[in-house]
Amino acid sequence: MIQAAEIVKLGDLHFEPFLMSETIDEAVQKIAGQINRDYNGEEVLLIGVLNGAFVFMNELIKQLEVSLEIDFIKVSSYDGMNSSGELALALDFKNDIKGKNVILIEDIIDTGLTASRLLKMASCLRPRSLKIASLLLKPDSLKTQVQMDYVGIEIPDVFVVGYGLDYDQKGRELPMIYKLYQED
């Protein structure tokens, strides 16, 4: 049974612990190891998808042993708890990515629509290579086929917050990942 102290209230919803810090750290280490092997001796441009990916990206770059450039793009496809399917682009690609090894850094791939559209936009700019790294993947929620290069943890179709993920801009600072609390 979940104890009341473990429940987190964000706005009008309650969330319970889902993925502990140790599990998240292992997933980040796994992805970093894969990137280090794939790009040994090469330079990589990491493009973090804001707002959610900033915590994951921060921890990831600490473990990368390749030469890095870092940039960000800001998009949103969520309204509260629901993916709208619409991609709102607030910050576009600032760097010239032509001829570069590019990895888009996502916090979560849910429907796959955002990732798919970002990959399509980026590929038009002719990078040398283009991959995507996501801390979380919800395979049961995918609405489109999307390239999956580096995935930390596959999760069921539950709403999650913490470690950069939010509910109406709340909860990003939580050190682990919580799921929506459902009373039995």
Active site residues: 110
Q: DSSP letter string over 118-166?
A: HHHHHHTT--SEEEEEEEEE-GGG--S----SEEEEE--S--EEBTTB-
Q: Is 99 helix (H, G, I), strand (E, B) or coil?
A: coil
CA distance 85 to 89: 13
Q: How far apart are CA 26 and CA 35, in angstroms?
A: 14
* 71 Cβ contact partners less than 8 Å away, ≥ 6 residues apart: 45, 46, 47, 48, 93, 94, 95
Instruction: Report d(CA 77, CA 106) in Å as an integer.
Output: 13
Give the CA radius of gyration of the chain.
16
Pairwise CA distance, residues 127 & 145, whole Å: 21
Contacts of 173 (CB under 8 A, 6+ apart): none
